[in-house]
Amino acid sequence: MFSFFRFNDSSKFVDLTMYQLGQSKCNPGSMPGYLKYDHYLFHYVFSGKGVLYSERSNGSIQTFPVEAGQGFMIFPGYKNNYIADMDDPWHYCWIEFDGLLVRDLLRQARLQVANPIFTPHDGMRIEDALKYIMDNPNNPSMELISHLYMFASSFANKPVSNKLVFSDSVRDFYVKEAIEFIYRNYPRNLSVGDIAEHCNIHRSYLSRIFKTATGVTPQDFLIRCRCDIASDLLTSTTKPIGEISAMVGYTDPLNFSRAFKREIGMSPKDFRKQ
């Protein structure tokens, strides 16, 4: 059994949007081959089991067994492959999604490149949401997005806001430009003024539209970006914490440790031990 549907009007939704959805009841040993994706691709296993082969930040391949009731996240730009068990091949659903809320959801679920396996507290919520979208792919977009929020709430420690943000072409252009600039330049000594200058808008206007779109200020987003990347480096490499601090834009390791603890909830040293 195989079914697949692609969504063509995803650009209307900024906070959370989906690109494709499908399911497959696999033959023993079946696998798609090593692939990369432009957005987040989550697989949820309804039954059976298999193995995920996932690329780490240093290029090595890590292996994870996955069984019914679990899911795994494929992160944008990383190579992944997965193979169905020979004796009990899996039946899974996948959904490709993205948006301004996604990184915060992944933080709450502790999902990282080095730790892509997710066991939900309420698997029925995920199953119900995904099955509804699969069964009704031609329903109005707003209705489908509401079930995408239901799916996403399974990742969060607190409910996901049900506010849907529709695209304003000028505002969203600037916000996306700012986010891309932050991701490209987070190792630098970056200020909100630098980001605004790159976007050719006033810093107060950038701060206002950025917080409206993402829920956080540009400065908080920069800190979150640095800490997310640092957490991945802490788990996927053996680099000293001081070196990682410099790699993500902190010249003072003490300032890095303070920011990391405020953002992640524990020190870099304790995070690496867990």
Does 158 have pLDDT greater than 60? no
Average pLDDT over residues 59-71: 92
Both tokens assigned to 138: 């031609």
Could you say which architecture CATH assigns to the domain 169-273?
A: Orthogonal Bundle (1.10)
Number of neighbouring beta carbons within 10 Å of residue 54: 23
Total-model pTM = 0.62
Cα distance from N-terminal residue to C-terminal residue, the chain: 40
CATH of domain 2-153: 2.60.120.10
Q: Is the pLDDT of residue 159 over 70?
A: no
Mean residue pLDDT across the chain: 85
- Identify residue 86 by its one-letter amino acid code: M
- Please name the amino acid found at residue 113: V
Answer yes or no: is pLDDT of 5 > 70. Answer: yes
Topology match between the domains 2-153 and 169-273: no
Domain edges within the chain: 2-153, 169-273
Does 166 score more than 50 pLDDT? no
pLDDT value, residue 167: 47
Q: How confident is the model at residue 164 (pLDDT cuts 50, 70, 90)?
A: very low
pLDDT at residue 141 greater than cutoff 70: yes
Query: pLDDT band at 29, cuts 50/70/90?
Result: very high
DSSP class of 10: G
183 has pLDDT over 80: yes
Which whole number is the average pLDDT over 154-175?
60
Interatomic CA distance for residues 21 and 235, integer angstroms: 30
Helices (H), the chain: 102-109, 123-135, 141-153, 169-185, 192-199, 203-214, 218-236, 241-247, 253-264, 268-273
Q: Is the pLDDT of residue 56 over 90?
A: no
Query: Cβ(164)–Cβ(13) under 8 Å?
Result: yes
